[in-house]
Amino acid sequence: MSDQKREKIILIDGHSILNRAFYGLPLLSDSEGLHTNAVLGFLNIMFRVLDEEKAQYLAVAFDLHAPTFRHKMYDAYKGTRSPMPGELREQVPVMKDVLRAMNVPLMSLEGFEADDLIGTVSLAMEQKGLDVRIISGDRDLLQLASDTTMVRIPKTKKEGREVENYYAEDVKAKYLVTPSEFVDVKALMGDASDNIPGIPGVGEKTATKIIAEFHSIQNAYDHLDEIKPNKARLSLQDHWEMAQLSYRLALIDRHAPFALPLEQARLGEDNSSLYTKEAMDLLKRLELRQMVRRFADHMQTGPSALPARQAESSANPFEEQRADTDDTEPSGQISLPEESRHDGMDGFREQVYPSGEGSRTADEKSESSKKADEGAKNFRLIEDAAEAEAFLERAVKEEKIGLYVLEEDSRLLGAAVAAGAETVLLLPVTRKQLAILSSGSCLISGINLKEQLSFLDGGDSFPKEQQSRYFDCAIGAYLLNPLAGTYVYDGISSVYTGRLVETREELLGKKSLLNLAGLAEENLALMMSGSAGEKRTAKKQDGPADRESARQALTRFSCLNARTALAAMQPIRDSLEKEDMLRLFTDIEMPLMFTLYHMQQEGILVRGDELRRFGHSLSGRIDELEKAIWEQAGQQFNINSPKQLGTVLFEDMKLPGGKKTKTGYSTSADVLENLAQDVPIVRLILEYRQLTKLKSTYADGLVQYIAEDGRIHGRFNQTVTATGRISSTDPNLQNIPVRTELGAQLRKVFVPKDGSIFVDADYSQIELRVLASASDDQNLIDAYNSAEDIHAITASKVFHVPLDEVTPQLRRNAKAVNFGIVYGISSFGLSQGLSITAAEAQSYINQYFETYPGIKSFLDGCIQSAKTRGYSVTMFGRRRPVPELKEKNFMRRKFGERVAMNAPIQGTAADIIKIAMVGVDRRLREEGLKSRLVLQVHDELLVETEISEKDQVETILREEMEGAARLRVRLEIDMKSGESWFEAH
DNA sequence: CCAGTCACG
DNA sequence: ACGTACGTGACTGGT
């Protein structure tokens, strides 16, 4: 750090990056059929790194002979090298030409691989005092990492690009061995794709363990008798020569007879030496327009034309409102009523946005490689109760802490706390001890807090004054990128703190936390005393050493959770603020977390006996149907197998039906229904399907979830959907049947407890109302304000018939069009839904847009805005990235357009009901009622209501739901009460 | 572990 | 010239 003027060199592993680029991008070719995708990908990666690193030197290494090409995933499977595909092979010389034209030195040497040259040059550069960046897709190069040499591995992920960055300590953090030891590990475990044999019976885990302990193969061999897994010891003994050979193969030669003439590698000021006319011409010939544009920018306007990502984020429709509404005060209040309802709407109304790249991109997130977590050395375990309490007492006096409650199956095992520079795991810990935290006033940051709250609940169920003390990084990360999929500590750590850490699986494997916590004996004792049945021997008692390492891993895992939560809080908050989602987070999502927690705790009462009876009643009919189907088919087969069913119907019975899916015949309900309504077997199959579904998923399926208290405590997930909706799992309570007779019967087993009834309220066409309001289409708004039957009015206007002459058929069609609009209209989709031709569907759509012109321009605006910004936005600022809009593939781009139309509508509706839920939950509690919110089904809320509180509950539901947002049309609800969910809905 | 199917909004 | 409606989760069979 003292040397401000350290220079930096970037060394690229040419074939490896070209390979990555090739498989990371769809095939692409110029008009003469020459493929160019790998060249483009390579240049993209190279320029991204150059922009980030601001280096002074650049060189690229290639193997001299590349007769085969490694494709590791494939090779790992096949055990050999696969030949390089022609489409890639032809790009190698092109790539070299492009690089030459850019004055980039190409390094290669007879008898040496690119690895060796990079190893040699990087060593020489280190010794010269240069910082080194090695860019490769190959993990073997991690052995070259040091304090000044960073190995960067670009990864191609579903969403965007990421780079894994490794200094020596990052290698250590992630792989538990030093870079030089990494060679030994690799030698022991082998690598089929590199033809490194390794030692039989030794995989990654054992290899790591041995080297972590003995530091080298040689030393391990010298201490053979100390090697723990018996199998590994014998194997190493038997295959000593193989081990040595493997080591030589795995080791990169850092002393090849090669020297890079450094001046040839020098990049001009701001990389200007790269932007030559020759290169530009070549890129034009290759028709790589994106690159040509980049070159043009640089050659004309000079280096300052670099994309300035930071500047773009100010292109934000909320900018104006922020001045008066964004007071950053984490008021635990849901203060949406006046100001922000207003500002939300204005933001939504705006349809044409200034251009900008949009949300933070993958490389922005991952560009930085910070030091391997310095806190790691401070991770420790406290087992003593008094010491644990003392620690908690200290921690709670901090301004903020990171917390991770270690639990499994609703059992409290321990808790990790990050406070100041310290992070400890308290194991075991009691609820009473944890109460020290909840009674304090420090900020508590966690990851996935909802699942940990039950252990922090001091008995007051988190009143809203308390709620603002909590910060959930997972929820914040979800808002920032709802497509990420998972929000666990390792991902959050790398994205928001720049620290790469081991994953849960790497630390703990697949073992249960309970066993790792070493509480297994207790547990076993309980089980034995509880059930006097078979004698179970303790599951292979772990030796003390194993047990010790298990505890260490558990400590590290728990502490990483807590430390990441603490470290990521501010970056996440900053990002949320920057992206104008802080209020969404503070006023809607965080309060909602508590509401969902309450709902999960509450559960819903189910009549288990009735449910079982229902299941049995289905069995009889299912058996009958099965027999009848087999009889008609003339053979016995598994009706549940689409494959077998397809064969029977379309081959054996020769029913007309084309292939529809990739794997064979489609036997889905719509195919079957169209196919042959008059063929008896089809009706039987459809009924069979319905009944087996009902039985396996709903009757038998739900019974499994009934808890001791007779209730089902499902989970409501807050970080799953792309649009902002809540999802429901274990079990899914948002798809309980309702549309059929039997479905209705099923809903009768969901009942209120004694002395209560259900009050059920659902929004009337919330999405269409959102659309009316957002589009500001006067005709649709008038339609809503004047009358009740929106579909009939639409039919009347669209089909030009008087309102009282609208037939049910016409109304149905209009309703389908309304749905189609919300889904992101397409003539083909609509034609499917209505079983009409695409042309007819198109004319419906045209007439619809003529009737409601504001909708057309709104939807176009949605697409346009999502295209320029990269994401769509809801009324309350929630974002959904729509990367599909940039794709070349027509179909996927069209999909992107439908998403861009649907997401703001579905998402705004989701925002609104979330606001309502928080309001309902809070008022039920604050007004001292016993009634509780128990379910949410997207536009519906179900409250288990004390009979005496019915009127009050109905008032609350109506006020909170209808008042959740102020739209240009009324938000109406339908409300009913009853003795079961069926009756109330 | 994925594809197909079907339950809901 | 492309061949789908938007968003979910659970269960089954088959690789």
* A383 within some domain: yes
* A829 within some domain: yes
Q: E strands along A467-552, which residues? A: 470-472
d(C-alpha A497, C-alpha A820), whole Å: 43
Q: Are A168 and A64 found together in one domain?
A: yes
Q: Tell me which of A808 and A545 has the higher pLDDT.
A: A808
Protein CA at A799 to nucleotide C1' at C13, angstroms? 47
Report the b/e string of A492-516 with b at 16+ CB within 10 A: bbbbbbbbbbbebebbbeeeebbbb
Protein CA at A729 to nucleotide C1' at C9, angstroms? 7
Q: What are phi and psi of A457, to 5 degrees?
A: -70, 110
d(C-alpha A811, C-alpha A808), whole Å: 5
pLDDT for the residue A783: 94
The β-bridge partners of A470 are A444
Nucleotide lying nearest to A642, CA to C1' measure: B4
Asked if the model's pLDDT at residue A340 lies above 50, the reply is: no
**Contacts by residues A896-900 (CB-CB < 8 Å, ≥ 24 positions apart):** A896/A866, A897/A824, A897/A863, A898/A823, A898/A824, A898/A825, A898/A826, A899/A824, A899/A866, A899/A872, A900/A824, A900/A862, A900/A863, A900/A865, A900/A866, A900/A867, A900/A872
Instruction: Please identify, among A231, A264, A286, the residue that sits at the C-terminal boundary of a domain.
Output: A286
Instruction: Please identify, among A851, A867, A891, the residue that sits at the C-terminal boundary of a domain.
Output: A851
Q: Which helix (H) or strand (E) holds A934?
A: strand A932-936
Q: What number is the average pLDDT over the span A615-641?
A: 96
Q: Tell me which of A676 and A543 has the higher pLDDT.
A: A676
pLDDT for the residue A303: 52
Nucleotide lying nearest to A662, CA to C1' measure: B3
**Contacts by residues A427-430 (CB-CB < 8 Å, ≥ 24 positions apart):** A427/A381, A427/A382, A427/A383, A427/A517, A427/A551, A427/A554, A427/A555, A427/A558, A428/A383, A428/A517, A428/A519, A429/A388, A430/A385
pLDDT for the residue A350: 32
pLDDT digit string, tens, across residues A202-235: 888 888 889 999 999 999 988 988 887 788 888 8
Asked if the model's pLDDT at residue A197 lies above 60, the reply is: yes
Asked if the model's pLDDT at residue A299 lies above 90, the reply is: no
Asked if the model's pLDDT at residue A665 lies above 50, the reply is: yes
Protein CA at A777 to nucleotide C1' at C4, angstroms? 27
Q: What is the CATH number of the domain that holds A37?
A: 3.40.50.1010
Closest protein residue to C1 (Cα–C1'): A890
Closest protein residue to B2 (Cα–C1'): A663
The answer to whether A676 CB sits below 7 Å from nucleic acid chain C is no
- Is residue A191 a contact partner of residue A250, using CB atoms and an 8 Å limit? yes
- Is residue A232 a contact partner of residue A268, using CB atoms and an 8 Å limit? no
d(C-alpha A942, C-alpha A693), whole Å: 25
Report the b/e string of A584-602 with b at 16+ CB within 10 A: bbbbbbbbbbbbbbbbbee
pLDDT for the residue A334: 35
**Residues 6 or more apart from A360 whose CB is under 8 A from it?**
A480, A481, A575, A579
Closest protein residue to C6 (Cα–C1'): A823
**Residues 6 or more apart from A937 whose CB is under 8 A from it?**
A733, A734, A762
Tokens representing residue A338 in the block: 């006046």
Q: What number is the average pLDDT over the span A706-729?
A: 98
pLDDT for the residue A540: 43
Angle at which helix A608-633 crosses helix A680-693, to 10 degrees, equals 150
CB atoms within 10 A of CB A164: 17
- Provide the CB-side half-sphere exposure for A322 (13 A, CA): 17
Q: Tell me which of A525 and A130 has the higher pLDDT.
A: A130
pLDDT for the residue A156: 60
Protein CA at A834 to nucleotide C1' at C5, angstroms? 11
Q: Given pLDDT bands bounded at 50, 70 and 90, which one contains residue A531?
A: very low
pLDDT for the residue A25: 77
Category of A429 on φ-ψ map: left (φ > 0), alpha (ψ -120 to 50) or beta: beta
CB atoms within 10 A of CB A651: 11
Protein CA at A174 to nucleotide C1' at C13, angstroms? 38
d(C-alpha A365, C-alpha A362), whole Å: 5
The answer to whether A697 CB sits below 7 Å from nucleic acid chain C is yes
Domain that includes residue A814, residue range: 781-851
Q: What is the CATH number of the domain that holds A506?
A: 3.30.420.10
Instruction: Please identify, among A286, A306, A338, the residue that sits at the C-terminal boundary of a domain.
Output: A286
Q: Are A279 and A397 found together in one domain?
A: no
SS3 content of chain A, % helix, strand, coil (to 5): 55, 10, 30
Q: Given pLDDT bands bounded at 50, 70 and 90, which one contains residue A376?
A: low
Q: Which amino acid is at A416?
A: A
Q: Tell me which of A214 and A371 has the higher pLDDT.
A: A214
Asked if the model's pLDDT at residue A809 lies above 50, the reply is: yes
Closest protein residue to B9 (Cα–C1'): A938
Q: What number is the average pLDDT over the span A118-140?
A: 95
pLDDT for the residue A543: 56
Q: What number is the average pLDDT over the span A756-773?
A: 97
CB atoms within 10 A of CB A649: 24
Q: What number is the average pLDDT over the span A22-48?
A: 86
pLDDT for the residue A274: 96
Q: What number is the average pLDDT over the span A102-129?
A: 95
pLDDT digit string, tens, across residues A649-663: 999 999 987 788 888
pLDDT for the residue A869: 95
pLDDT for the residue A538: 40
Asked if the model's pLDDT at residue A676 lies above 90, the reply is: no
Category of A539 on φ-ψ map: left (φ > 0), alpha (ψ -120 to 50) or beta: beta
- Is residue A470 a contact partner of residue A562, using CB atoms and an 8 Å limit? no
Q: Which residues touch strand B (CB under 7 A)?
A: A 642, 646, 660-670, 672, 686, 689-690, 693-694, 697, 734-740, 743, 762, 906, 937-940
Q: Given pLDDT bands bounded at 50, 70 and 90, which one contains residue A519?
A: low
Give the position of tokens 């807050």: A718
Least reliable range by pLDDT among A71-80, A127-136, A154-163, A855-864: A71-80
**Residues 6 or more apart from A636 whose CB is under 8 A from it?**
A630
pLDDT digit string, tens, across residues A701-714: 999 999 999 999 99
Split into its structural domains, chain A has a count of: 3
Asked if the model's pLDDT at residue A523 lies above 60, the reply is: no
DSSP one-letter string for A567-606: HHHHHHHHHHHHTT-HHIIIIIIHHHHHHHHHHHHH-EEB
Nucleotide lying nearest to A742, CA to C1' measure: B7
Q: E strands along A431-523, which residues? A: 443-446, 470-472
Nearest to A382 by CA among A426, A420, A423: A426
Q: What number is the average pLDDT over the span A127-131?
A: 96
d(C-alpha A456, C-alpha A452), whole Å: 7
| Helix, strand or coil, per DSSP, at residue A715 | strand
Burial of A621 from C-beta contacts in 10 A (0-12 / 13-18 / 19+)? middle
Q: Are A161 and A24 found together in one domain?
A: yes
Tokens representing residue A629 in the block: 């189907």
Q: Are A127 and A275 found together in one domain?
A: yes
Q: Tell me which of A670 and A27 has the higher pLDDT.
A: A670
Asked if the model's pLDDT at residue A421 lies above 90, the reply is: yes
* A738 within some domain: no
Question: Which nucleotides of chain C does any protein CB come within 7 A of?
Answer: 1-15
* A92 within some domain: yes
Asked if the model's pLDDT at residue A574 lies above 50, the reply is: yes
**Residues 6 or more apart from A704 whose CB is under 8 A from it?**
A731
Q: Are A282 and A383 found together in one domain?
A: no
Least reliable range by pLDDT among A366-370, A512-516, A933-937: A366-370
Q: Enter the DSSP assignment of A543.
A: P
d(C-alpha A149, C-alpha A409), whole Å: 44
pLDDT for the residue A193: 63
| Helix, strand or coil, per DSSP, at residue A85 | coil
The β-bridge partners of A411 are A408
**Residues 6 or more apart from A248 whose CB is under 8 A from it?**
none
Q: Are A260 and A385 found together in one domain?
A: no
DSSP one-letter string for A226-246: G-SSHHHHHHHHHTHHHHHHH
Average predicted confidence (pLDDT) for chain A: 86
Q: Tell me which of A152 and A530 has the higher pLDDT.
A: A152
pLDDT for the residue A666: 93
Q: Enter the DSSP assignment of A49.
A: H
Burial of A208 from C-beta contacts in 10 A (0-12 / 13-18 / 19+)? buried
Asked if the model's pLDDT at residue A570 lies above 80, the reply is: yes
Asked if the model's pLDDT at residue A67 lies above 90, the reply is: no
Asked if the model's pLDDT at residue A827 lies above 80, the reply is: yes
* A900 within some domain: no
Least reliable range by pLDDT among A97-101, A150-154, A201-205, A882-886: A201-205
Protein CA at A638 to nucleotide C1' at C12, angstroms? 11
Q: Given pLDDT bands bounded at 50, 70 and 90, which one contains residue A587?
A: very high
Give the position of tokens 């018996």: A230
* A308 within some domain: no
Nearest to A150 by CA among A176, A177, A130: A130
d(C-alpha A863, C-alpha A869), whole Å: 10
Proportion of chain A above pLDDT 90, given as a percent? 68
Report the b/e string of A829-866 with b at 16+ CB within 10 A: bbbebbebeeeebbebbeebbebbebbbbbbbbbbbbb
Q: Given pLDDT bands bounded at 50, 70 and 90, which one contains residue A759?
A: very high
The answer to whether A661 CB sits below 7 Å from nucleic acid chain C is no
Q: Tell me which of A754 and A662 has the higher pLDDT.
A: A754
Q: Are A150 and A278 found together in one domain?
A: yes
Question: Which nucleotides of chain B does any protein CB come within 7 A of?
Answer: 3-9
Q: Are A277 and A387 found together in one domain?
A: no
d(C-alpha A591, C-alpha A585), whole Å: 9
Asked if the model's pLDDT at residue A912 lies above 80, the reply is: yes
Residues of A 725-784 whose CB lies less than 7 Å from any atom of strand C:
725, 727-732, 734-735
pLDDT for the residue A650: 93
Q: Tell me which of A267 and A298 has the higher pLDDT.
A: A267
* A130 within some domain: yes
Q: Are A279 and A390 found together in one domain?
A: no
pLDDT for the residue A342: 37
**Highest mean predicted confidence (pLDDT) among A4-18, A72-86, A506-520:** A4-18
Closest protein residue to B5 (Cα–C1'): A668
d(C-alpha A222, C-alpha A932), whole Å: 68
| Helix, strand or coil, per DSSP, at residue A933 | strand
Which CA distances in Å does A80 have to A62, A184, A203, A246?
21, 22, 18, 16
Tokens representing residue A438 in the block: 């909840």
Asked if the model's pLDDT at residue A389 lies above 50, the reply is: yes
pLDDT for the residue A321: 29
Least reliable range by pLDDT among A152-166, A340-354, A670-684, A736-750: A340-354
- Is residue A151 a contact partner of residue A141, using CB atoms and an 8 Å limit? yes
Q: What number is the average pLDDT over the span A85-111?
A: 91
Q: What number is the average pLDDT over the span A76-94?
A: 67
Asked if the model's pLDDT at residue A565 lies above 50, the reply is: yes
pLDDT digit string, tens, across residues A866-903: 999 999 999 999 999 999 999 999 999 999 999 999 99
The answer to whether A838 CB sits below 7 Å from nucleic acid chain C is yes
Closest protein residue to C10 (Cα–C1'): A697
* A565 within some domain: yes
